[in-house]
């Protein structure tokens, strides 16, 4: 049986281990800082999926007052195709809806073959392009 709970600071290492196992981390993002910022901000949550007290999945959700976002949704490979991602995504949707969020979005990196799960779960690809600008680095 899967139990989904709100992560606390004590879940940091377990959540980051799931992120690494799922290939969700990138060299330019410090996962410890991402986790800490999410826990410190009242408009976000990190969820942990556990089976027999073993962390097997995570998701992060945030709401800025306009749109909701889902990040770091991942299930450890050995536990995939058991509905855990669906449960995590639905838990994010409920959390966002409870805060009055009208629409949730998520970003998927190009070339991610596991992204097909989102369409099976009723999410639609959107005709948008995402741009980024690093605010914590000096402009050259």
What pLDDT shows up at residue 121?
85
Examine residue 130 and state whether it is found in any structural domain, yes or no: no
Examine residue 18 and state whether it is found in any structural domain, yes or no: yes
CB 55 within 8 A of CB 86: no
Structure tokens at 29: 């993002």
* Calpha distance 68→71 (Å, rounded): 10
* Calpha distance 104→49 (Å, rounded): 20
Output the tens digit of pLDDT for each of the chain's 140 residues: 899 999 999 999 999 999 999 999 999 889 999 999 999 999 999 999 999 999 999 999 999 999 999 999 999 999 999 999 999 999 999 999 999 999 999 988 777 777 778 888 888 888 888 887 777 766 54
CATH code at position 68 = 3.40.630.30
| pTM, 2 dp | 0.88
Helices (H) and strands (E) counted in the chain, each on its own, are 4, 5
CB 60 within 8 A of CB 47: yes
Q: Which domain holds residue 75?
A: 2-120
What pLDDT shows up at residue 120?
85
What pLDDT shows up at residue 118?
83
Examine residue 48 and state whether it is found in any structural domain, yes or no: yes
* Calpha distance 59→129 (Å, rounded): 23
Number of domains the chain is built from = 1
Alpha helices in the chain (DSSP H): 12-21, 31-40, 84-98, 116-120
């Amino acid at each position: 049986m899967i139990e989904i709970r709100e992560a606390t600071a004590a879940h940091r290492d377990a959540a980051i281990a799931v992120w690494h196992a799922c290939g969700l981390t990138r060299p330019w993002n410090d996962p410890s800082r991402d986790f800490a910022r999410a826990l410190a901000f009242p408009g976000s949550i990190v969820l942990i999926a556990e089976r027999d007290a073993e962390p097997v999945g995570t998701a992060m959700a945030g709401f800025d007052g306009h749109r909701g976002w889902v990040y770091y949704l991942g299930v450890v490979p050995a536990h995939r195709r058991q509905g855990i991602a669906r449960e995590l995504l639905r838990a994010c949707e409920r959390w966002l809806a409870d805060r009055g969020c009208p629409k949730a979005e998520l970003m998927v990196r190009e070339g991610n073959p596991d992204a097909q799960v989102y369409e099976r779960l009723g999410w639609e690809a959107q005709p948008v392009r995402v741009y980024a600008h690093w605010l914590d680095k000096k402009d050259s």
